[in-house]
Amino acid sequence: MYCKNCGNAVEQGAVVCTNCGVPVGGGDRFCANCGSQVQPGQAACLTCGFATAGGAATMPGAKSKVAAGLLGIFLGGFGIHNFYLGYTGKGLAQLLITVLSCGMLAVVSEIWGLIEGIMILCGSITTDAQGNPLSD
């Protein structure tokens, strides 16, 4: 992932760019996918084809932040949101905690899912398992 303001690489999970200090996702001068310069309002990066939608990065097939958050809140005890985002290990852990305990430890998985669902909706979790940004 690259800063859309200065084009430098941004670490996964970063809140601001360490080079220019702009919040991640801020700016419209560089492609968030490859770091190439784009014109403000340009629909897609001419280097990699990443859709910028006028500066708001939207990748075709991107996972929905709202869907993932709601799955976490309502079905988090089964890890459905983690399966949706590609985190199969975490999803399997939540599912097994719920199923193998015959529901006795389901509250643990449900709280875990609720917290992750809220974190997704609030923007603390911004990418799927492959590092692709979640769409709004």
Q: How many CB atoms lie within 10 A of CB 133?
A: 19
Interval 21-55: pLDDT, tens: 888 878 888 888 888 888 877 788 888 888 775 54
Interval 116-128: pLDDT, tens: 999 999 999 988 9
Is the model's pLDDT at 62 over the cut of 60?
yes
Alpha helices in the chain (DSSP H): 65-75, 80-85, 88-100, 106-122
Is the model's pLDDT at 18 over the cut of 60?
yes
Q: Looking at residue 116, what is its pLDDT?
A: 97
Query: Would you place residue 111 in the very low, low, confident or very high pLDDT band (cuts 50, 70, 90)?
Result: very high
Distance between CA atoms of residues 88 and 23, nearest Å: 29
What mean pLDDT do residues 84-97 have? 96
Residue 28 DSSP symbol: S
Q: Where are the domains of the chain?
A: 1-62, 65-122
What mean pLDDT do residues 90-108 have? 95
Q: Looking at residue 53, what is its pLDDT?
A: 56
Q: Looking at residue 55, what is its pLDDT?
A: 43
> Cα-Cα-Cα-Cα dihedral of 5, 8, 12, 15, to 10°?
-40
> How buried is 43 (Cβ within 10 angstroms: 0-12 exposed, 13-18 middle, 19+ buried)?
exposed
Q: What is residue 112's three-state secondary structure?
A: helix
Distance between CA atoms of residues 117 and 20, nearest Å: 30
Distance between CA atoms of residues 106 and 114, nearest Å: 12
Is the model's pLDDT at 56 over the cut of 50?
no
Q: Looking at residue 38, what is its pLDDT?
A: 87
Q: Looking at residue 27, what is its pLDDT?
A: 80
